[in-house]
Amino acid sequence: MSNILFDTPGPRARARHRLLAAIGILLLAGLVAFVGWRFYDTNQFDGKKWEWVEYKYVQEQLITAVLATLKAFALGAVLALLFGAVFAAGRLSEHRPIRLVSAFIVELFRAIPLLILMFLFYYGLPTVGVKMSAYTAVVLGLMLYNGSVLAEVFRAGILALPRGQSEAAYALGLRKTQVMVLILLPQALRSMMPTIISQLVVLLKDTALGFLITYDELLHFAQFYGGQGQFGRPFIPVAIVVAAIYIGMCLLLAWLANYLQKRERRSKKHIDVAPIAPVDPDLAGVGAA
């Protein structure tokens, strides 16, 4: 089918698209092959550069780094979602002062780079007598920055719904909180889910900035063991392992989101309908009479 911005391609256009796709795949495969050959040519696949994986204490440090990354992500994601929900509701409030304050806070923390927030919490606040751990600074930075972005996502998702949805709910006598929780949010969440998951993936990758304030996460692990001379400075092998772990976590997060979305859709298909009592043939004509 066609829409305003896109026409359904014809046979020649589809053939051209397939040709361009094949050329793109070949170019991408050639690039991957070239990078792999350069790694091989520079001895990045030699056993000496991968000996670090065999040491038990290195494996333990890697597991600790993964858990630290997940720990910061989990708390940061929960707080960011709560922050976004609260300030999205504030921006949708009928009271002007609440809307203005909420808009100021959201725009402020959305405009400040996440790294600056982490530096401010970890290095700036101690100058005024407020000390916090690297973990706390990372989580607060993740919450404020990503929560501000999610607040705009939530607000846009709710405003995108047809106005008749809320008007019909108010006509039935529902209060504003009931309209938001029972009518608007369930519909908006389905459309917002891909954007929310994308932002959570960004949040997961943003935990890597914690190594700049000495937080012991995956990138800090890669920086430390990648420069160890006793293992032949295996920066590339360590980076490959850490990148594979990041990719696996992001794919797992996307799979979980898709699973929850499909399960929610399946549950909506089952609607309980009251059984209809059979009609007695002898009484069928009573009403007509």
Which stretches of 113-253 are assigned E, i.e. beta strand?
none
d(CA 41, CA 207): 33
The model's pTM is: 0.77
Q: Which of 189-193, 197-201, 273-277 has the lowest mean pLDDT?
A: 273-277
Identify the pLDDT of residue 248. 92
Helices (H), 127-234: 134-159, 163-171, 176-178, 185-206, 218-226
The per-residue pLDDT for range 106-133, each reduced to its tens digit, is 999 999 999 999 999 999 998 888 889 9
DSSP result, 99-125: HHHHHHHHHHHHHS-HHHHHHIIIIIG
- Cβ-defined contacts of 261-268 (< 8 Å, 24+): 261/190, 261/193, 264/190
User: What pLDDT is recorded for position 275?
Assistant: 45
pLDDT of residue 6: 59
The terminus-to-terminus CA distance of the chain in angstroms comes to: 53
How much is the pLDDT for 229? Answer: 74
Q: Is 278 exposed, middle or buried (0-12, 13-18, 19+ CB in 10 A)?
A: exposed
Predicted local distance difference test score (pLDDT) of residue 182: 77
Per-residue pLDDT at 55: 85
- State residue 7's pLDDT score: 67
Q: What is the pLDDT at residue 164?
A: 78
Average pLDDT over residues 143-157: 91
pLDDT(5) > 70 = no
pLDDT interval class at 276 (50, 70, 90): very low
Of the candidates 214, 218, 216, the residue with the CA atom closest to the CA atom of residue 246: 218
User: Does the pLDDT of residue 273 top 50, yes or no?
Assistant: no
Q: What percent of the chain has pLDDT over 70?
A: 89
268: confidence class by pLDDT, cuts 50, 70, 90: low
pLDDT at 277 > cutoff 90: no
- The residue that leads in pLDDT, 238 or 270, is 238
Report pLDDT for 27. Answer: 95
Residue pointed to by tokens 């908006």: 188
Average pLDDT over residues 183-189: 77
| Contact yes or no for 110/91 (Cβ under 8 A) | no
The answer to whether residues 177 and 110 touch, using CB atoms and an 8 Å cutoff, is: no
Return the pLDDT at 232.
74
Judge whether residue 143 has pLDDT over 50: yes
Looking at every residue in the chain, the average pLDDT score rounds to 83
In 3D space, the residue among 146, 133, 258 whose CA is nearest the CA of residue 204 turns out to be: 146
pLDDT-based confidence at residue 1 (cuts at 50, 70, 90): very low
* Residues 227-253: tens digit of each pLDDT: 877 777 788 888 889 999 999 998 888
Contact of 138 with 207, CB cutoff 8 Å = yes
Given a cut of 70, whether residue 158 has pLDDT beyond it is: yes
Asked whether residue 43 carries a pLDDT value surpassing 60, the answer given is yes
